[in-house]
């Protein structure tokens, strides 16, 4: 009985030390991770805006307006998310023209899709299909739309369409 009690105390002490180390590491890395995500988001906003954008301002949470040098709004960017990707959440930054409907392009913020299949959502062959289309009405060909799904990754392709629709609803 004494031996078991000694083991329980030892394991409890080791677990407490490990938990303390993990909490410390988390507290030290939380701010740098947050800053990196914010910088990545800012880069994505600029990358999806139409040509000619000189400045960007956040107009509501996750929605940005891009203005040209004269101050005229020439485009928008909005975050879109779909929880139904094959590997989980897909979060995109989607650029729209000033009409708030026509897609310019998108950049992936979060995706854990299968390498070599679903991660082809970042290829120009797939992502280029969305340029010039109306964001609210996108769907893959299997669902009657005009987006050619990624071979063997229809779930991911559908999730990208839904994420873009989500972004368009925020405008």
Tens-place pLDDT, residues 109-119: 999 898 888 89
The whole-angstrom separation of Cα 132 and Cα 20 is 52
The whole-angstrom separation of Cα 126 and Cα 44 is 18
Which residue from 86, 108, 104 is spatially nearest to 95, judged by alpha carbons?
104
CA atoms within 13 A on the CB side of 154: 6
Output the CA–CA distances (angstroms, integers) from residue 157 to 14, 58, 111, 167, in the order listed.
46, 28, 12, 16
CA atoms within 13 A on the CB side of 97: 11
- Is pTM beyond 0.85? Reply is no
- Of 136 and 123, more confident: 123
pLDDT over 90 (residue 135): no
Name the pLDDT band for 2 (thresholds 50, 70, 90). confident
The pLDDT value given to residue 167: 96
Which residue from 21, 17, 167 is spatially nearest to 102, judged by alpha carbons?
167
In the chain, the percentage of residues whose pLDDT exceeds 90 is 80
């Amino acid at each position: 009985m004494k031996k078991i009690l000694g083991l329980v105390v030892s394991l409890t002490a080791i677990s407490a030390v490990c938990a303390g180390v993990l909490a410390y590491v988390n507290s030290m890395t939380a701010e740098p991770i947050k800053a990196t995500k914010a910088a990545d988001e800012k880069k994505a906003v600029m990358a999806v805006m139409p040509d000619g954008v000189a400045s960007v301002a956040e107009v509501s949470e996750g929605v940005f307006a891009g203005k040209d040098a004269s101050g005229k709004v020439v485009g928008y960017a909005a975050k879109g998310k779909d929880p139904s990707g094959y590997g989980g959440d897909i979060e995109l930054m989607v650029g729209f023209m000033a009409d708030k409907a026509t897609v310019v392009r998108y950049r992936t913020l979060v995706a854990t899709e299968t390498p070599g299949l679903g991660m082809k959502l970042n290829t120009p062959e797939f992502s280029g299909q969305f340029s010039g289309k109306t964001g609210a009405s996108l769907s893959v060909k299997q669902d009657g739309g005009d987006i050619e799904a990624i071979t063997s990754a229809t779930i991911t392709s559908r999730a990208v369409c839904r994420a873009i629709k989500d972004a368009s609803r925020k405008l």
